[in-house]
Structure 1
Amino acid sequence: MAESKFLRGTVILSAATFLSKFLGMIYIFPFVAMVGQQGLALYQYGYQPYTILLSLATLGVPMAVSKFVSKYNALGDYRTGHRLFRSGIILMTITGFFAFLLLFFMAPVIAGWIISNPDELNGNAMSDVVFTIRMVSVALLLIPSMSVIRGYFQGFQSMGPTAVSQVVEQVVRIVFILAMAFAVLYLWDGELGTAVGFATFGAFVGGAGALTVLLYYWKKRKSFIREHVENSTEDAGITLTQMYKELILYALPLSFVGLAVPLFQMIDLFTFNNALMATGEYTQGQAETAYGTFAGSAHKLILIPVAIATAMSVTLIPTITNSFTNRDHALLERQITQTYQIILFLSIPAAAGLAVLSYPTFAVLFGLEDVEIGGHVLRYYAPAAVLFSLFSVTAAVLQGINRQRYAVLSLIIGLVVKGISAYGFLYMFGPIGGSFSTIAGFSAATAFNVWAIGRFAGFHYGILLKRTLSIIVFTLCMAAAVIIVKEGAFTMFPLTSWMNAFFVELFSVAAGVGVYFILTVKSGLAGIVLGERFSVLKKDKTREEE
């Protein structure tokens, strides 16, 4: 009974997390329609440092608290987990307050790092950058303490409060962002900087909505929790110092690896505009438009296949941990192979499709105004979708086989490569230089993870390489079909209106999905990779279980 409750809760939490991330990706389309790519760049100026400071202030607390509380609850020691809960809320409130002060008062300095030589005639005013950073900083007063409450509920195997609060937080935040942007720009005839600044305040408003949900659940379950605490059969009697030492050991690897994409984006934040403007070929406004397309629009698009691929494969991670613990090497090898296959089967054709259809895709989702720079950036950034997917899953596999420090080390390697190459690539190649440095950094990090899995899990890549080659061949066939259909569609529907872009996209995507589906099903590859999930794809004659 307890196991089924845990599995049901895990499914609910996974679904809520996916829905929350999906909503966080799609709201950008109407938002950009109102504020444009330059406004999106301003929005990123506030959110990027906020994301980093929020992660540092919380340090992976929800999962770490969940693991800690679950461990001591299982021993009958509910009192220790409750002590962590009470002290954790105080500690996270304090760290959140100091993070808020740091971001609020450092805003002018950070703005100077983002744009070292401002040209405010055609770019965002520095005062608007400072205002945006300060508006989003207020959320740091609220969000960190919430992470402790979520983790505590999860420690009782109650995933509902976290799931519901995550979705409510995202919905409230998005509604506030879009409503404020619309009101300031179209009802009150306000400035772009004001609209974006108030939009970033949505992080605090969304947090308030989530906290309301959590307090509701706490009121409902307080008596149940108090009864367990008072009836504890054990008391470890550990000090707060010992408690937090154990918590940090749980949290650090999880939080650092989870910071991979934000840390890469932070490097872009401080190099992108400055490198482009240093070439003398870009004004501040042009550089910011390019940054908005790269760090905002294109980045959100490539996260869609990443989210789908990762969601399908990450369900295998707990079973990988069990196989490793039980020393069942044959099962472990099959599970890791399956994880890799799902990621590659979904992300490679998705990335290729985004690259080939970059211009009509950008036009359909973000309009024609900045389609030239947007389509250009998306074409070269799309391959990063494969690397983002592979890195997140290989890092999770390393954690599953108790090699967390290698996942951390791989991220450090990737960040060093990114940091060394970022400014130079941008200076030499223009806006697509950001894509090149990101791909280089994640390639190095992922390669290290792949090596570590082979080394410490004894994993052999022979079968996987064979199937990856098949996926690449089928993807090339798909891409060729898409290019033919796209070019033919352009003769009838030139990229001069949204409707034309939509028709080109529709016909091309249909051709690509159709070709890839037919090739992978007829060859049996789809049955091998997805057979357990979609038995209809499995062919009787397909018995490739090498």
Structure 2
Amino acid sequence: MSKNSIVRGTVLLTSATFISKFLGMIYTIPFESLVGATGGTLYGLAYGPYTIFISLSTIGIPLAVSKFVAKYNSMGDYQTSYRMYRLALRIMFITGLVTFAILFGGANALASIYIPDNSEGIAVEDVAMVIRMISFALIIIPPMSITRGFFQGYQSMGPTAVSQVIEQFVRIGFLLVAVYAVIDIFGGTITTAVGFATFSAFIGAIASAIVLFWYWKKRKRHINLYIQQQTVDRTNISSRTLFKELFSYAGPFVFIGLAIPLYQQIDAITFSRTLINMGEAQAVIDHAFSNINLYGHKLIMIPITLATGTSLATLPTLTKSFVDRNKPLLFQQINQSLQLIVLFILPAVVGMSILSHEIWGAFYGVNDFIDLNGYLLGWYAPVALFFALFTVTSSILQAISQQRFAIYSLFIGLVLKSILNIPFLQWFGPQGAVIATWIAAFITVAANLWKIKQAISFSLRQFLKRSMLMGIFTIFMALAVAFVRYLLRFVVTYQDGRLANVIILAITVTIGAFVYLWFSYHSTLLERVAGGRVRILDRIMKR
């Protein structure tokens, strides 16, 4: 395996995830103009439990299968990895149906948890309806996810990448057409429109399943060839033994996948209740909650795509190095994974914080609440770095068989978030929920890094040293962006409309990116992290 395998896998999966997340962000522009803050709040309330039930329905098995397959394939035992896939696939069909039935049947009970009795506007029945509409996707997603995990175990990232993009294209296409038709053609309610919007998850899942089936038919012959040519005989392993090993991997994946949704669920339960009791206006609450739960959250998820792609690409690779006891390669891969995250996400979140009002205005337009939304987005943006590092460090812990600790650290973070959320909301207002997330997520990342260091005697020195250098370059970038933004204020401001904000972003982001890349390239930091020269920059910035 070449030393750049993580980079290649990360680039492929990150590109696919980025396209998916970018589409998932772009569609919120027309979606917000059609359904507004109320529709965004309703949509977010439905997606929260749905995301949790996806994790519960798959019980962490897709990524666990990825690790399982990578491990047994490295031992030359392709038959056992294929056998495990077939067994896991059956479980996924069952758990998908069970969780669909629970979510569909328990929609009213869930909705009553989110909507306080003294709430105005959104009713319990509205939330229950959209939850029922989204529950249908649970029938298809578990078996689809297990197939993605199987391909990833073979270090074949193409099926996951392509199916992910197709799923998002189909989902968003159906969503926008349905919402537009319900509201502008048939004159329906926002609740009905949001219901069809959530049902789009089912439509997208069908499209993804069709793509994966095509890949399966295409690659089945090669998989059979591996099995036929294997020399290792392990046919005596019982199904019980295989499941025991698989679930030892799978358990932590459930909780890791639930991390962000669980943080959001704490907000969903406490946010409105706390602010209503404080006498905050319902319009302010709706705008603030839809910001941190949907519209602003979609924006900060763009940087997190790098972490998602990195974690998916590194798990099989790190697992193989760990099983082979190749510590030098393992340490190199861990360093590369962590540094890639900080290299790209740190400047992104700092830039997003500085330009938060312009970003909000460019995507969602200028209205009476732009100051509130821009202010909250500026506070919320750094959360992306903590969530990204948590995702990757948890993946590393799983690869080195320390998956239980990932659960402990997440539990600590959730307890902190639960304890801090209400008092911080009372002290700081809507931004208090964001600050509570900051603190909780930072503690989990610090705990994960400590455990990685302690478990395999991994030195954090190179990571911390290079992160400090990235921080310095980010400061240079931030100063350049802030200065250019200040000069532009004499000509145009974020209050001048969406086009004005697009122009401001085009200029400031271009200059900021150039400054950061210039320092990163000429200091050789970029090529040290990437594992080689970056040919595109070689042509632009000749060193």
Task: Tell me the TM-score normalized by structure 1.
Answer: 0.86
1:502 corresponding residue in structure 2: 502
Alpha carbons of 1:383 and 1:217: their partners in 2 closer, same or farther (altered >3 Å)? closer
Alpha carbons of 1:57 and 1:459: their partners in 2 closer, same or farther (altered >3 Å)? same
More moved, 365-374 vs 506-515: 506-515
1:98 corresponding residue in structure 2: 98
Query: In structure 1, how many angstroms separate the alpha carbons of the residues matched to 2:486 and 2:385?
Result: 26
Superposition pairs for residues 51-450 of structure 1, below 5 Å? 51-68=51-68, 84=84, 87-120=87-120, 123-152=121-150, 160-217=158-215, 234=233, 236-283=235-282, 285-308=283-306, 311=309, 321=319, 332-369=330-367, 370-450=369-449
1:468 corresponding residue in structure 2: 467
**Structure 2 counterpart SS, 1:484:** helix
Q: Deviation per CA, 1:157-188, whole angstroms, max 9, x where unpaired?
A: 76554444333222211111111111111111
Q: Partner amino acid for 1:340?
A: L
Query: In structure 2, how many angstroms separate the alpha carbons of the residues matched to 1:131 and 1:309?
Result: 33
Q: Is the 8 A contact 1:6 1:157 kept in 2?
A: no
CA drift of 1:6 comes to: 13
Query: In structure 1, how many angstroms separate the alpha carbons of the residues matched to 2:397 and 2:86?
Result: 32
Q: Partner amino acid for 1:98?
A: V
Q: Is the 8 A contact 1:10 1:159 kept in 2?
A: no
More moved, 243-252 vs 306-315: 306-315
Alpha carbons of 1:523 and 1:244: their partners in 2 closer, same or farther (altered >3 Å)? closer
Q: Partner amino acid for 2:500?
A: N
**Structure 2 counterpart SS, 1:402:** coil
Query: In structure 2, how many angstroms separate the alpha carbons of the residues matched to 1:534 and 1:5?
Result: 15
Alpha carbons of 1:505 and 1:105: their partners in 2 closer, same or farther (altered >3 Å)? same
More moved, 67-76 vs 159-168: 67-76
Q: Deviation per CA, 1:80-106, whole angstroms, max 9, x where unpaired?
A: 666655554443232222211221222
Q: Deviation per CA, 1:289-328, whole angstroms, max 9, x where unpaired?
A: 2111111122121222222366468756666556655666
Alpha carbons of 1:536 and 1:206: their partners in 2 closer, same or farther (altered >3 Å)? closer
Alpha carbons of 1:5 and 1:308: their partners in 2 closer, same or farther (altered >3 Å)? closer
Query: In structure 1, how many angstroms separate the alpha carbons of the residues matched to 2:426 and 2:277?
Result: 8
Q: Deviation per CA, 1:522-542, whole angstroms, max 9, x where unpaired?
A: 55544544462526769xxxx
Query: In structure 1, how many angstroms separate the alpha carbons of the residues matched to 2:331 and 2:227?
Result: 42
More moved, 207-216 vs 492-501: 207-216
Q: Is the 8 A contact 1:527 1:535 kept in 2?
A: no
Q: Partner amino acid for 1:352?
A: V
Q: Partner amino acid for 2:263?
A: F
Q: Partner amino acid for 1:455?
A: Q
2:532 corresponding residue in structure 1: 532
Query: In structure 2, how many angstroms separate the alpha carbons of the residues matched to 1:314 and 1:152?
Result: 12
Alpha carbons of 1:516 and 1:231: their partners in 2 closer, same or farther (altered >3 Å)? closer
Q: Is the 8 A contact 2:412 2:444 kept in 1?
A: yes
**Structure 2 counterpart SS, 1:116:** coil
Query: In structure 2, how many angstroms separate the alpha carbons of the residues matched to 1:475 and 1:303?
Result: 20
Give unpaired runs (5+ residues) of structure 2: 539-543
CA drift of 1:138 comes to: 1.5
Taking only aligned residues, the RMSD between alpha carbons, in angstroms, comes to 3.6
More moved, 372-381 vs 422-431: 422-431
Q: Partner amino acid for 2:131?
A: I
More moved, 376-385 vs 150-159: 150-159
Q: Is the 8 A contact 2:304 2:387 kept in 1?
A: yes
Query: In structure 2, how many angstroms separate the alpha carbons of the residues matched to 1:463 and 1:317?
Result: 21
Q: Partner amino acid for 2:446?
A: A
Q: Partner amino acid for 1:133?
A: I
CA drift of 1:489 comes to: 1.4
Alpha carbons of 1:12 and 1:487: their partners in 2 closer, same or farther (altered >3 Å)? closer
Query: In structure 2, how many angstroms separate the alpha carbons of the residues matched to 1:453 and 1:524?
Result: 27
CA drift of 1:9 comes to: 8.7
Q: Partner amino acid for 1:348?
A: L
Alpha carbons of 1:314 and 1:106: their partners in 2 closer, same or farther (altered >3 Å)? closer
Q: Deviation per CA, 1:214-238, whole angstroms, max 9, x where unpaired?
A: 4445566778878998999856254
Q: Partner amino acid for 1:468?
A: S
More moved, 320-329 vs 197-206: 320-329
More moved, 344-353 vs 456-465: 456-465
Query: In structure 1, how many angstroms separate the alpha carbons of the residues matched to 2:157 and 2:333?
Result: 26
CA drift of 1:108 comes to: 1.6
Query: In structure 2, how many angstroms separate the alpha carbons of the residues matched to 1:5 and 1:469?
Result: 26
Alpha carbons of 1:255 and 1:181: their partners in 2 closer, same or farther (altered >3 Å)? same
Alpha carbons of 1:313 and 1:405: their partners in 2 closer, same or farther (altered >3 Å)? closer
Task: Tell me the TM-score normalized by structure 2.
Answer: 0.86
Alpha carbons of 1:525 and 1:411: their partners in 2 closer, same or farther (altered >3 Å)? same
Alpha carbons of 1:307 and 1:228: their partners in 2 closer, same or farther (altered >3 Å)? closer
Number of residue-to-residue matches in the alignment: 535
Query: In structure 2, how many angstroms separate the alpha carbons of the residues matched to 1:164 and 1:210?
Result: 8
**Structure 2 counterpart SS, 1:265:** helix
Q: Is the 8 A contact 1:489 1:507 kept in 2?
A: no
1:543 corresponding residue in structure 2: none
1:487 corresponding residue in structure 2: 486
Q: Deviation per CA, 1:193-213, whole angstroms, max 9, x where unpaired?
A: 110111100111112222333
**Structure 2 counterpart SS, 1:259:** helix
Q: Deviation per CA, 1:302-359, whole angstroms, max 9, x where unpaired?
A: 2222223664687566665566556665555554444333322222221111111110
More moved, 55-64 vs 178-187: 55-64
More moved, 12-21 vs 355-364: 12-21
Q: Partner amino acid for 1:372?
A: D
Q: Deviation per CA, 1:228-253, whole angstroms, max 9, x where unpaired?
A: 98999856254443332222122222
Alpha carbons of 1:46 and 1:537: their partners in 2 closer, same or farther (altered >3 Å)? same
Q: Deviation per CA, 1:459-502, whole angstroms, max 9, x where unpaired?
A: 33444444333333332232233222212212221313112222
Q: Is the 8 A contact 1:530 1:537 kept in 2?
A: no
Q: Partner amino acid for 1:40?
A: G
**Structure 2 counterpart SS, 1:493:** coil
Alpha carbons of 1:306 and 1:463: their partners in 2 closer, same or farther (altered >3 Å)? same
Superposition pairs for residues 510-521 of structure 1, below 5 Å? 510-521=510-521
**Structure 2 counterpart SS, 1:124:** coil
Q: Is the 8 A contact 1:57 1:95 kept in 2?
A: yes
Q: Partner amino acid for 1:373?
A: L
Q: Deviation per CA, 1:495-527, whole angstroms, max 9, x where unpaired?
A: 131122222222322332233334444555445
Q: Is the 8 A contact 2:17 2:308 kept in 1?
A: no
Query: In structure 2, how many angstroms separate the alpha carbons of the residues matched to 1:216 and 1:249?
Result: 31
2:541 corresponding residue in structure 1: none
